[in-house]
Amino acid sequence: MSDELLALGEIVAGTEWASAPLAQQCAIDQGIRASLLCALLGVEREQAVWPYGIHPVDPAKPITGAAALLGGLFTPLDGVGYLGTLAGAADLDPMDPGPSHTVLPATLAACAARRAVQAEVGRDSRDDAEIGAGVLAGVEAGWRLRRAITGARPGLGFHSPGVFGTLAAAAAAARVLRLDAVQCSQAMAIALTRASGLAINSAASMIGMTHFGWGTLHGLEAALLAAHGWSASIDLQKALSTLFGEGNVGLDRIAGDDPRLSAATGLVFKHYPCNIYTNLLVKMLAGVNESPVERIHVRMPWIPHLDCPAPRDVRQARNSAQAVVAIAGAGDTSYAAFSGPPGPWAPAPGVKRLLENVELEMDKNAPTKLNEAVLAVRAWRGGQLVLDAQGSMRDLKGWGREHAQRLIEPSDPHAGIEALYGRGYLDGYAHVKARGIS
């Protein structure tokens, strides 16, 4: 057994909710509820975009043919692949400081695994604590694996939800199933055989959203297989080098000398449905968007796929620095402002005008890690500089019911906020499933 993988398995198996500091419990709680909101928004607002329909968007038009087959692919294992894909489409998932997408896959896999436990032992008052411990362990495992990749910037190599998200889902489910350290290690080894998703097809493309679904599905599968005694190669050096290239892997960074959990306190939260780095720009522009601005200059680290001055569709617009700051600078940051029907992106007139006056400057030497990255934005109105701000990515912390309510506006016809923020995790998960998969 790889020393690093076994050490990681011991960390996962030994994670206990009651032992986690309050700050970590708070961050994980916010992350779980935000992830469930992602799934709910995906089911209710993004379903029409995807061909993975379990139910027809129009009840009068049943799903048939190829679409029916696609829906069937994601139905097994509690439908987490389907929910993960639609949750990824909502694009509000929290991220670990890697940066990588781990909270969303870990949450859905942990909830599904706990439902499996419930089927055997019945409802348990410790359900939330067990799911919390699973997500805490999954985020930690994904973050430690991500920090072992030393030479890849965001957008290069493999898309994080397909790799680190898969491993986080496996670790979370393994912990919820109460597997021992060796079994947890094997769950993660199996998960690495399923890791995939080229980063060149990341969030800016439609297919990139399916990486969330497949990552969640394969992580849960890996934990279940490990529980039944299955195993996979434990050559972690070769596995990671295959994914990210020789010379980009430092296994000593996985376990280290400190077994304490650290990833949860570094979680970065999206507040708006757009790329994580542009969330900070929206937050800074929110201070002056009581009326539209006329010109914007942005300075940020070099993340090439965010330099997209003419997005083709909504998905690209959410991952275009120029489009996102034009939306924010025009004064509308509702969920609806970042969404829309399939086909060419049709920005509002004010956004379209401002888009032509957005200047983007990217620094190839600036750090991209979420706990190090710094962005700056300046904005003008009436020829006067009205904003000159600089912000750190690590300052994007969690949010609760009030912000969730604003995101889900103008209405909440199915009482989603109460289900996700007023009840336990499994109740929220059941509410999402009831909306998406009956």
For residue 391, which of 365, 418, 421, 370 has the smallest C-alpha distance?
370
Minimum mean pLDDT range among 18-32, 53-67, 134-148, 402-416: 53-67
- Does residue 20 carry a pLDDT above 90? yes
Check residue 90 and give its pLDDT.
Answer: 92
What mean pLDDT do residues 10-26 have? 96
Check residue 150 and give its pLDDT.
Answer: 84
What does each C-alpha distance from 77 to 49, 73, 93, 176, 258 come to in angstroms? 23, 10, 21, 15, 35
Q: Where are the alpha helices (DSSP H) in 341-400?
A: 349-355
70 in Cβ contact with 206 (< 8 Å): no
Q: Which residue has the tokens 């139910």?
A: 55
Counting Cβ atoms within 10 Å, is residue 262 exposed (0-12), middle (13-18) or buried (19+)? middle
Give pTM, 2 decimals. 0.92
For residue 404, which of 233, 239, 273, 208 has the smallest C-alpha distance?
273
Q: Does residue 39 sit in helix, strand or coil?
A: helix
For the chain, give the percent of residues with pLDDT over 90. Answer: 65
Check residue 103 and give its pLDDT.
Answer: 98
Binning pLDDT at 50, 70 and 90, where does residue 253 land? Answer: confident
Check residue 57 and give its pLDDT.
Answer: 65
What mean pLDDT do residues 244-252 have? 86
Q: Which domains does the chain have, with CATH numbers?
A: 3-269+401-436 (1.10.4100.10), 276-395 (3.30.1330.120)
Q: Does residue 340 sit in helix, strand or coil?
A: coil
What mean pLDDT do residues 75-97 have? 91
Check residue 155 and give its pLDDT.
Answer: 61
For the chain, give the percent of residues with pLDDT over 70. Answer: 95
Cα gap 281→278, rounded to integer Å:
5
For residue 91, which of 266, 327, 338 has the smallest C-alpha distance?
338
| Two structure tokens written together for 422 | 């007023």
Binning pLDDT at 50, 70 and 90, where does residue 204 land? Answer: low
Residue 198 CB neighbour total at 10 angstroms: 15
Counting Cβ atoms within 10 Å, is residue 31 exposed (0-12), middle (13-18) or buried (19+)? buried
| Two structure tokens written together for 116 | 């499996």
Digit-coded pLDDT (tens) for 322-358: 999 999 999 878 888 888 887 899 999 999 999 999 9
Strands in 295-301's sheet, in edge-to-edge order, are: 358-363, 295-301, 374-381, 384-392
Binning pLDDT at 50, 70 and 90, where does residue 73 land? Answer: confident
